[in-house]
Structure 1
Amino acid sequence: MRRRTTVLTATAVAGSLALLTGCGAADMTKQASPFANAGGTKSVTLSVQSWVGAQSNVAVARYLLEHKLGYRVDTVQVDEVPAWDALSQGRVDAIMEDWGHPDQEKRYVEDKKTIAHGGDLGVTGHIGWFVPTYLAKQHPDITNWKNLNKYASLFRTAESGGKGQLMDGSPSYVTNDRALVNNLKLDYQVVFAGSEAAQITQMKQFAKEKKPFLTYWYAPQWLFKKVPLTEVKLPPYKDGCDADPAKITCAYPHTPLQKYLNADFARSGGKAAAFLKKFRWTTEDQDEVSLMIADQKLSPEDAAKKWVDSHPSVWKRWLS
């Protein structure tokens, strides 16, 4: 979600996500697909990361690969950094949504050349700190980080040790939040919900009771349609301001999300590789599928089918 610096920053959504995704450090020797990079086999293996937006990309790509191109598609649950290792080794063929890992990109794309760019996903990701809009309307100045200490008592919880709580999701996400709290001298404690699903549950419950909360969150994300949120302005992001994670004092960047392919697959993956390179949709498209999976409780395949049936003008371009 997500380096959801980055992480998102996504985060399994309960039930449907639990079947396909996970957020811990993945052991790819145990989870590697038996089909990945199999010579002569018309198959594709996609990495599934642990936030619902990433699952939506994979669900739609999988549906079209299987039903329009005749491929067998396998998915592997894997965390963000291990996914790069798996992709380099040919254990998976593609990552559909990466939020920016410059160290991994330099190592595998530029130096080793075992991973190739797969193009823009078409979605721009952004991580930030958010409060519910109903709270921002009550206290308009709460949306400036300089005023957060003034309101710290509003956000105290049993887990925050007498300080205000800044709610994060999974501990596996790479976030800047602890450094930001320390460097900006904020009277807050970062408290991890444990996963995207747990974080969503807490946010929905707080919103139902109109309670104050401050949370690390990210867009695109379907929950914005259910719980209106307003971003807290952190010191503006400038190139290089996050170069030293320990000294960070700036906001998270806006990141055009990228796809990456195993280099051998990019060269010899035929129609599947060509399709994945052309796969490009909007934030609205992704949110539509995510909402069906996470909120309406459709299976990923059913959500993908519903989206495919209603958007032929979008996906037909990916097959041409």
Structure 2
Amino acid sequence: MRTKTAVTALAVLGLGLTTGCGAADMTKQTSPFAGAQGAKTVTLSVQSWVGAQSNVAVAQYILEHELGYRVDTVQVDEIPAWDALSQGRVDAILEDWGHPDQQKRYVQDKRTITAAGGLGVTGHIGWFVPTYLAKQHPDITDWKNLNKYEGLFHTAESGGKGQLMDGSPSYVTNDKALVNNLKLNYQVVFAGSEAAQITQMKQFAKAKKPFLTYWYSPQWLFKKIPMTEVKLPAYKEGCDADTAKITCAYPKTPLQKYLNTDFAHHGGKAARFLKNFKWTTEDQNEVSLMIADQKMDPQDAAKKWVDSHRSTWKAWLS
């Protein structure tokens, strides 16, 4: 959604998931099924955004209904998820948006985590305005003109400046530094979660009000609220090395999967299946739309997708 980081974690049994803050601390908690010897069990880490929930819903459904595994899921934010994966408290992360420091620590140095290949989806963070606003003011999609229009984005929370809406404060965001370094008269205001951010965007869109928001793809909401990206200074390799001085756009990030190393070596059909799991942005958005917009139970959404995409997932079992 995002190159993100994490502060808190929430344990969730099954996939009756919501986006939002959690209460449990994964550094002190483990699934009773993770690393169970001799049992066909798998524990999957679930990030709080709906795209990640869609990955897990489909993987869980196939693991249970096609391969005969018991699947446990734990919702845990990104950095604690790496720690839990390294220690075997979860077996797999199916959507990572890029944490090179964690990758070096656990994959390259400690070798307690094994890279499991790409998810097949490329993620991108950016700043977006609703397309109806971009049609009214075509030059608003260039960051150099944002100060010209900052009055359109004043809210009660933005302190006399234009509001740049962000989601969860646990996501990695360069937005405060970008606003400062690009000398923009804007205030970053956190909605609190992906769900809260979506609610606010829907309210603005229903009233055809202006808004400027940190957002990301893949994301099902684009199908409901067409949005146009604001062009920030072009991303170049290394331009985000010092986040305090950053003045460039976010990169495009091929999303990756990771397995606990012991599970990768000894997880049998489940590990092989998760390594093979690879689908498209369209596939993920199809399931996400059912879960988040149509309010389907995640396993019902997974079943519907599995029933209509047999040739896709059959290849994952080979």
- TM class, shorter-chain normalised? over 0.9
The aligned residue for residue 245 of structure 1 is 243
Q: What residue in structure 1 maps to residue 312 of structure 2?
A: 314
Out of 134, 137, 143, the position equivalent to 2:135 is 137
CA distance in structure 2 between the partners assigned to 1:23 and 1:244 by the alignment: 28
Q: Is the 8 A contact 1:129 1:232 kept in 2?
A: yes
**Segments ≥4 residues shifted beyond 3 Å:** 16-26
* 2:149 counterpart of 1:159: no
2:2 is equivalent to residue 2 of structure 1? yes
Paired position in structure 1 for 2:231: 233
Q: How far is the alpha carbon of 1:24 from its aligned partner? A: 5.0
Provide the C-alpha distance between the structure 2 equivalents of 1:127 and 1:104, rounded to a whole number of angstroms: 20
* Alpha-carbon separation, structure 1, partners of 2:138 and 2:108: 46
Structure 2 residues not aligned, in runs of 5+: none
Q: Which sits farther off after the overlay, 257-266 or 26-35?
A: 26-35
Q: Structure 1 residue 19: deviation in Å? A: 3.5
Describe how 1:157-306 pairs up with structure 2 within 5 A: 157-306=155-304
Answer whether contact 1:37 1:91 (CA < 8 A) is retained: yes
Give the SS at the match of 1:166: strand
**Residues of 2 paired with 1:210 and 1:17: CA distance?**
34
How big is the shift at 1:21?
5.5
Cross-structure match for 1:85: 83
Provide the C-alpha distance between the structure 1 equivalents of 2:23 and 2:250, rounded to a whole number of angstroms. Answer: 23
- Using the size of structure 2 for normalisation, the TM-score is 0.95
Residue equivalent to 2:108 = 110
Distance 1:18 1:190, change over 3 A: farther
SS of residue paired to 1:198: helix
TM-score (normalised: structure 1): 0.95
CA contact (8 A) 2:46 2:74 kept: yes
Q: What are the within-5 Å matches in structure 2 for residues 24-43 of structure 1?
A: 27-43=25-41
Task: Indicate the residue corresponding to 1:97 in structure 2.
Answer: 95
SS for the counterpart of 2:237 is: coil
Residue identity opposite 1:74 in structure 2: D
2: CA distance, partners of 1:45 / 1:222: 26
Between the aligned residues of both structures, percent identity stands at: 83
Alpha-carbon offset, residue 28 of structure 1: 1.2
Q: How big is the shift at 1:185?
A: 0.4
Report the aligned-residue RMSD: 1.7
* Contact in 2 for aligned 1:133/1:228 (Cα 8 Å): yes
2-side partners of 1:30 and 1:88: how far apart?
14
Deviation at 1:2, TM superposition (A): 2.3
Distance 1:244 1:125 in 2: 21
State the alpha-carbon separation in 1 of the partners of residues 185 and 177 from structure 2: 13
Matches within 5 A, 1:66-77: 66-77=64-75
Structure 1 residues 36, 201: CA separation in 2 closer, same or farther (over 3 Å shift)?
Answer: same
- Work out whether residues 21 and 78 of structure 1, in 8 Å CA contact, stay in contact via their aligned partners in 2: no
1:254-301 deviation line (CA, Å, top 9, x unaligned): 000000000110000000000000000000000000000000000000
Q: Is the 8 A contact 1:124 1:254 kept in 2?
A: yes
Matched AA of 1:233? K
Name which of 51, 56, 59 aligns with 2:57: 59
* Residues in 1 aligned to 2:148 and 2:316: alpha-carbon distance in whole angstroms: 51
Change (3 A) 1:211 1:288: same
State the Cα deviation string for residues 86-139 of structure 1 (Å, max 9, x = none).
Answer: 000000000000000000000000000000001100000000000000000000
